[in-house]
Amino acid sequence: MNSTEWQKEDMKYIWHPCSQMKDYEELPPIVVDHAKGINIYDVDGNCYKDVVSSWWCNLLGHCNPDINKAMKAQLDKLEHVIFANFTHIPAITLCQKLMEVIPKGLCKFNFADNGSAAVEMALKMSFQYHQQTGNKQKVKFMALTDAYHGETIAALSVGACDLYSSIYKPILMDVTRVQGPDCFRCPYGKCRDNCQCECFEKAEEIFAKHGDETCAMIVEPLLQGSAGMKIYPPLYLTKLRKLCDKYNVHLIADEIATGYGRTGKMFAFDHAGVSPDIMCISKGLTGGYMPMSICITTQKIYDAFYADYLSGKAFMHSHTYAGNPLGCSAGIAVLDILKRDKTIEKANKRAPYFNKIIKDKFLGLDNVGEVRHIGLVNAIELVKDRDTKEPFDSKLRLGYQIYKKALKKGVLLRPLGDIIYFNPPIIIEEDDMDFVTDVALECTKEALSEIK
């Protein structure tokens, strides 16, 4: 069958994630045959540069020989086993190796199989902790405006991206919302590179009112991905750590997107020099190979569940694929590669070049409001009016027009609204940086000229 025939078969059966399926009439799904490094190849041999890391999870390139080798070796030994009362060497080894790189104080690992599940687990864990330590009044959660924490009901509740959650409002949990940092449109007229997080007063106000009834505050540290790669300073986290301690509120770090070097350090919290009470990791954990996540916490939280069986204090949460050995083998390979190749350090050396060419190419356009970056993540926010920062009418679907054009030219961009971003595998080299930014610029100019 040729690709058109495969596409017809696809659309007969498959309901794709996060898509208006009617859009597929005009833009049918690309039928992928294989991939290597940052290149994805379709069945007709067309190549697409994957600068979104296939939904931010592919860390070290597709079909990485070392990860492939590790997983193949594991496959012939053990594919999966129940993780209650049973364990295996890949899971233990993965935890040993993670201990070397995670923020200080975190030491107990509870496995799940996707990011949203890890967020659910973190929320339940925090709630149960407070129930079992004499704080029955702590029954609520706090989260930032523009947050994204996944798609299951509790994860959607702590999230605040209307596009994903507004229809479900009647069935979501009631979450206390903290007006978070908005550095591009800072209401205090400050700039993220030298402010004192004046906006943190909003958090202080909310904690004063609701801290006592709150179990935990969950944040995407430094980088709010789905909100449009919004970036805020580490000082915010340092202050939040202190505030959470003051009110006996757990600080949950959703490092699902920010972990594994995406922000230039192993974890985004490392920039702030403080540790969360619970940390959720997924995406980069297996290099984007296997659905796996871990909720990592402290001895103190663990101890609040540790008692005689009849006390009823156990954490009765499980996922069938918890601790899957194939996922663990990929996870070990990823950590071994990062250590052996110093991948993050090397990525940090190439990051200024990437940011520079993006600034050089895009800041000349009238409709670029801001180019922001952290690590290799770069975002270009397009606005109707640069002075007032007024956005374009979302009905124009400017970002989507750019997406379609870029695909034709061999780059997988997938803008968030009108925010074009790059979040490539961290092995990306300069020649690919040149190519993908050239294509993005051309497509942006074309799309802008068409809507004017």
Site of interaction with ligand PLP (CB under 6 A): 114-116, 119, 148-151, 220, 225, 254, 256-257, 282
Which residue, 285 or 443, has its beta carbon nearer to ligand PLP?
285
The answer to whether residues 48 and 58 touch, using CB atoms and an 8 Å cutoff, is no
Q: Read off φ and ψ for residue 449, nearest 5 degrees.
A: -65, -30
CB of 282 to ligand PLP, least distance (A): 5
Minimum distance between the CB of residue 377 and ligand PLP, rounded to whole angstroms?
12
Instruction: Closer to ligand PLP by CB, 220 or 370: give it.
Output: 220
Q: Which residue is nearest to ligand PLP (CB)?
A: 115
Nearer to ligand PLP, 260 or 392 (CB): 260
Using CB atoms within 10 A of its CB, is residue 112 exposed (0-12), middle (13-18) or buried (19+)?
buried
Shortest distance, position 121 Cβ to ligand PLP, whole Å: 12
Contact 223, 168 (CB under 8 A): no
| Angle between helices 65-75 and 325-341 in degrees, nearest 10 | 150
* Nearer CB in complex with ligand PLP: 37/288: 288
We find the least distance from the C-beta atom of residue 266 to ligand PLP, in angstroms, to be 16
296 phi and psi, to 5 degrees? -110, 135
Residue that is written with structure tokens 């004017």 in the block:
452
**How near is the Cβ of 37 to ligand PLP at its closest, in Å?**
22
Question: Nearest distance from residue 220's CB to ligand PLP, in Å?
Answer: 5
Closest contact distance (angstroms) between CB of 148 and ligand PLP is 5
Contact between 268 and 231 under an 8 Å Cβ cutoff? The reply is no
Q: By C-beta, is 294 or 441 nearer to ligand PLP?
A: 294
Whole-angstrom distance, CA of residue 84 vs CA of residue 147 = 33
Nearest to ligand PLP of 158, 443 (CB atom):
158
Nearer to ligand PLP, 57 or 206 (CB): 57
Structural tokens at position 351: 């990051």
Q: Which is nearer to ligand PLP, 6 or 164 (CB)?
A: 164
- Write down the least CB distance from residue 3 to ligand PLP, Å: 27
- Taking the mean position of all CA atoms in its chain, how far away is CA 211? 27
Q: What is the CA radius of gyration of the chain?
A: 22
Least distance in Å: CB of 178 to ligand PLP?
16
Cα→Cα distances 89→92, 93, 132, Å: 5, 6, 32
CB 436 within 8 A of CB 422: yes
Which is nearer to ligand PLP, 144 or 337 (by Cβ)?
144
Taking the C-alpha atoms of residue 221 and residue 310, their distance in angstroms, rounded to an integer, is: 38
Least Å distance, CB 146 to ligand PLP, is 11
Identify which of 232, 248, 247 has the alpha carbon closest to the alpha carbon of residue 200.
232
The two tokens of residue 185 are 């449109």
Two tokens, residue 111: 């496995």
How do 250-254 and 214-219 pair as beta strands? parallel
For residue 205, the tally of other CB atoms under 10 A from its CB is 12
Exposed, middle or buried by CB within 10 Å (0-12, 13-18, 19+), for 138? buried
Residue closer to ligand PLP, measured from CB, 254 or 277: 254
